[in-house]
Amino acid sequence: MMGLAEHARLALAIALLERGARVSIVRHLTDLPRMVVRRLYREVLGVAPAAGQLPTTARVMGTRLRQVQASLWASLYRGLGGPGICQILDPQALLAAHDLYLQVARGQGHPPTLDLNDAWVVARDLRSGAAELRPCLRCQIHYLVCSEPRLPPTCPLCALRARALRAARGREAARAPASGSQSPASGRAERA
């Protein structure tokens, strides 16, 4: 007869699969045999499991907007999982953070950019130290950085703000090309 622990592992596997988790991640988090997870995958999703590589954290936050969303996800995960969350990989915190992240992103009118597999990769790298949340002293948010990043390891909100400022100055300069009274500030735009 199936014990309570076995039931809990199956329930976790189903919750992960319903949210689009890969077989390898479900196996890692539940310790269920590969054949069991593959069978569950077909039952839950009605198709055979997809093959393919997991992303890297650097790819998950390959643009400043994606870095903002990855930072939001990681902040929710740390908030829900508590202070020790970066030493373990808590599947319940992973699920809860992801559900909340989807709500927050959609509530703000932004299409979510992280799926559950991306979220797992970030959680794994937070635990190994390959990714970390850093405080921004200027805008007070915590932002995610990782090893081998595609972007400078700086705050994405400040970078986006600087970019918007540069664009506004560019539009201003384009409107008044012949005035000859270029402000000194426009020559030293911040680099993002």
We find the least distance from the C-beta atom of residue 151 to Zn ion, in angstroms, to be 14
Q: Three-class SS string for the chain?
A: CCCHHHHHHHHHHHHHHHCCCCHHHHHHHHCCCHHHHHHHHHHHHCCCCCCCCCCCHHHHCCCHHHHHHHHHHHHHHHHHHCHHHHCCCCHHHHHHHHHHHHHHHHHCCCCCCCCHHHHHHHHHHHHHCCEEEEECCCCCCEEEEECCCCCCCCCHHHHHHHHHHHHHHHHHHHHCCCCCCCCHHHHHCCCC
We find the least distance from the C-beta atom of residue 34 to Zn ion, in angstroms, to be 43
Judged by beta carbon, residue 93 or residue 158, the one nearer Zn ion is: 158
Judged by beta carbon, residue 139 or residue 168, the one nearer Zn ion is: 139
We find the least distance from the C-beta atom of residue 154 to Zn ion, in angstroms, to be 8
Give the count of residues interacting with Zn ion (CB under 5 A): 6
Interacting residues with Zn ion between 111 and 170 (CB under 5 A): 136, 138-139, 155, 157-158
Site string for Zn ion, 36-75 (x = CB under 5 A): ----------------------------------------
We find the least distance from the C-beta atom of residue 113 to Zn ion, in angstroms, to be 19
* Binding positions for Zn ion, rule: CB under 5 A: 136, 138-139, 155, 157-158
